[in-house]
Amino acid sequence: MNSPLLPLTVLVASLVAMPAAHAVGPGEIDTFAGSLEGWFAGGGPGGGVPPDSPTLVAGGGPGGAGDSFMQLTASGRDGAGGRLVGMNASQWAGDYSAAGIAGIAMDLRNLGNTDLTVRLYLEDPIPGPPANEAVTTAGVPLPAGGAWTHAFFALDPGSLTALMGDTTTLLSNTTVLRIFSGADAAFPPEQVAGMLGVDNIQAVSAVPEPGIAALMMAGLGVLGAFARRRAPR
């Protein structure tokens, strides 16, 4: 189900202009401390720079007034810039399975007036018609005007909705990663007028199961109560 948003020639030009890529690995993180770190959006039917490219905001990130972050903007109009999408084909390309990456965490904030649902889209290969593509089945809902939210997107075959090809093959050779807002696990998403703040995009190698995490917290609570009972009066 390949429905590219951009003409191939424009996308190729964007990729050629990017810095040399390196394979994604555990601990990879984009903090946007001074640059967009390879994140971009493609051009429209006429080529050139899209009307709503990602921008670097100097302060106001999750770390406070001095914390810079990336802002994605969409107009909701027909054509280029109408969908909320940011993409990276440099440091976020590679073999996620061999690197032992369980998912990607990031800080998100809805800066606009429209509710958003954020997902990830992975594709292979690019440029050219993809043979394998998938989106994260679970989206992260962000209410309009909300606070910064720490989100995690699991990247295993069971957590992805395949749009074409095979998710296992895709995770072994991802060539482009997109962050986008879409109500459904599909791509391209619907048009939306909105603004999204993104910061601290990080590859995560291991995530505790929710049940295990709950048991750990319960165990700590029991130990704490026991220690309080044994404390001298």
Domain ranges of the chain: 8-207
Average pLDDT over residues 152-170: 97
pLDDT in tens, 184-207: 999 999 999 999 999 999 999 976
Task: Find out whether 214 and 148 touch, Cβ atoms under 8 Å.
Answer: no
Task: Supply the DSSP symbol for 147.
Answer: -
pTM above 0.75, yes or no: yes
Tokens 């951009």 correspond to what residue? Answer: 6
In terms of pLDDT, which residue wins out, 50 or 19?
50
- 128: pLDDT confidence band, cut at 50, 70 and 90? confident
User: What is the structure's pLDDT at 127?
Assistant: 73
Instruction: Give the H/E segment covering residue 202.
Output: strand 193-204
How many other CB atoms are found less than 10 A from the CB of residue 47?
Answer: 14
CATH code given to domain 8-207? 2.60.120.430
pLDDT over 90 (residue 95): yes
Residue ranges of E strands in 4-148? 29-30, 55-57, 69-75, 85-88, 103-110, 116-124, 132-136, 140-142
- State the amino acid at position 119 in one-letter form: R
Residues with Cβ within 8 Å of residue 211, at least 6 apart in sequence: none
Residues with Cβ within 8 Å of residue 89, at least 6 apart in sequence: 15, 18, 21, 38, 126, 175, 176, 177
